Structure 1
């Protein structure tokens, strides 16, 4: 656990990971930085992909701002508001804590810099500001254009195994939430609704979710999608590799 520093600004509470901000070489973000509208009015940011409002920021540092949004049918009734119980149980608080835990464990995830909780009576809206991993794209995007070497598939399995060995459950483990950089290093992202989970019974199902996402993207691709059974076998082999102590 890391001590997140909360600062109140009217209805908004901003949570700071001061250690991560220092490591990034930036001052604690101004409250405006936690709002999408602040960045969309500037030329050094572009919309990101995925559900909800995500903005890729270049200056003053490479960052990503993501606004928390609901999925499923309930999004038609309340897309961005959640029931507030405690600050510690809010989505940005939990995700910032989990990202810090994973970074400390040596897992390839972005640093969480700050979070926002905006109170509206019994409800709240929220966002999170994170480090942007440079020169990355979704593995999904890479597979639309070219095959991956089976060694990379093994590395994907190995990274997931390292995450599982730390008992981190990824609620939405799909091929969009695994990034690959220009040196073929892999990164895991999007840890909303994720957390530490005891036992091992859930781990095969987590892998199955990833496989289903690959098959889904393969079936809907209008051009060739570079994924086959041999690739999945390589990923599984990487997952089963012993982790060096």
Structure 2
């Protein structure tokens, strides 16, 4: 792809079947370290330090030319049932570079997210490619299900209040994202990171299929927050300690005290619950495939 459009401050480099979009200020440092071959870089990493991200664990790699700075290389993987057949091969390169643009716009707009350092595609055959997104490490961050699991070990009033405080902070971060015109393409618990040393710091990750516009209407906002609630239901099926009341608390924290909006949203919420019944069949099939892979 010879006409890759990238955000301001990034360079595009073509090397054979590999295309790299790289932040100018990190260009020499990352190229010297071999960023054009992310798979080799990950395999050669001697660190036992890993980051728990949306669809798995990935190594955290020190940036050799920068003291104490580290990067996380996320290999793009499919979700849903398709991941069991073609887990990491995509068609057309525009999708990754669109994610790079939206993620960078979000960071520049003050949305709490990890700054992207580079995006790399490796052409497999014809229009088919594998993709990698390289971002700065968020030290001491863990995704929301892991934090909720830790909270559940602390039964009683303290654990309850801590979980509600986390949900309120997450609702606040999502509201900020929407107020600044960002619709998240896969808003779920695993794409929300919490700084475990400072739990008031919430980060939103994985901007694949997301978009940025001047204004989000009520319907777009509602779709996004209900998508987040649906992910709570899915993880509850897998044993995560979240309840229906937690979901309703999250919705109230997002929408505030607007009774008209909450009345409409409750209707949307009930329709979503009905649709989840059909989705549970798919979730069970995915769980069965996951067990076979283990």
Ranked by relative contact order (alpha carbons within 8 Å, sequence separation 6 or more), the top structure is: 1
Spell out the pairing of 1:17-32 with structure 2 (5 A cutoff): 17-19=23-25, 21=26, 27-30=29-32, 32=34
Q: Deviations over 1:144-165 (max 9, x none)?
A: 1213243332111111011111
Q: Corresponding residue for 1:66?
A: 74
Q: Deviations over 1:206-239 (max 9, x none)?
A: 1111112112222321xx71x3355334422332
What TM-score results when the alignment is normalised by the length of structure 2? Answer: 0.69
User: Aligned-residue CA RMSD in angstroms?
Assistant: 2.7
CA distance in 1, matches of 2:60, 2:185: 26
The one of 177, 185, 200 equivalent to 1:163 is 177
What TM-score results when the alignment is normalised by the length of structure 1? Answer: 0.81
**Quick check: 1:6–1:13 contact (8 Å CA) kept in 2?**
yes
Q: Corresponding residue for 1:100?
A: 104
CA distance in 1, matches of 2:79, 2:126: 22
Structure with the higher helix share, 1 or 2: 2
Q: May I ask how many residue pairs the two structures share in their alignment?
A: 231
**Quick check: 2:13–2:20 contact (8 Å CA) kept in 1?**
yes
CA distance in 1, matches of 2:141, 2:226: 25
Is 1:5 the equivalent of 2:11?
A: yes
Change in 2 beyond 3 A, CA 1:236/1:76: closer
Following superposition, the deviation at residue 49 of structure 1 comes to 4.5
Q: Corresponding residue for 2:276?
A: none
Structure 2 residues not aligned, in runs of 5+: 1-6, 64-68, 152-158, 258-294
Change in 2 beyond 3 A, CA 1:199/1:187: closer
- In terms of Rg, which structure is larger? 2
Following superposition, the deviation at residue 141 of structure 1 comes to 0.8
Q: Corresponding residue for 2:233?
A: 215
Change in 2 beyond 3 A, CA 1:13/1:236: same
Structure 1 residues not aligned, in runs of 5+: none
